[in-house]
Amino acid sequence: EEMAQNLFDALCSLLLVPANKELLGKQQGIELMLRIVKERRFFCSQAIKVLDFALLACPPNCQIFVEKLGLKFLFSIFMKKARPSHQKKRNKAQERRDEEHAVSIINSLCRGCSGVAT
């Protein structure tokens, strides 16, 4: 578990470089993170964090996120949908971090989306 969290953290560090953000979008990384969030996998929180880093100042990734229906999963974070049994013991601090990343994603989408369908 700790090793996988370290891998997600390393991925976030790689996404600080703009070229890596675009590469993640082109290689279907956004879709993979959305799938993890959708299926409420064990690493859902880390996937939300990666999405936050991937969308920050990267309009192409924002467009991909919207096209792949990422808003549906984004707003389910705020609604605090029922979680699988392995996630029921999540602490309030982790929920706050997830909400913080979700707000940051919304900010990135507001800045990065043109409002014109492609």
Question: What would the mean pLDDT of 100-112 be, rounded to a whole number?
Answer: 97
- Torsion of the alpha carbons at 58, 61, 65 and 71, rounded to the nearest 10: 0
Q: Where are the alpha helices (DSSP H) in 39-115?
A: 44-55, 59-67, 70-79, 92-112
User: Residue 22 above 70 pLDDT?
Assistant: yes
User: Residue 82 above 60 pLDDT?
Assistant: no
Residue 11 or residue 91, greater confidence: 11
Question: What would the mean pLDDT of 103-117 be, rounded to a whole number?
Answer: 92
- pLDDT given for residue 89 in this prediction: 62
Instruction: Judge contact between 34 and 73, C-beta under 8 A.
Output: yes
- Crossing angle of helices 44-55 and 2-14, in 10° steps, is 10
- pLDDT given for residue 84 in this prediction: 55
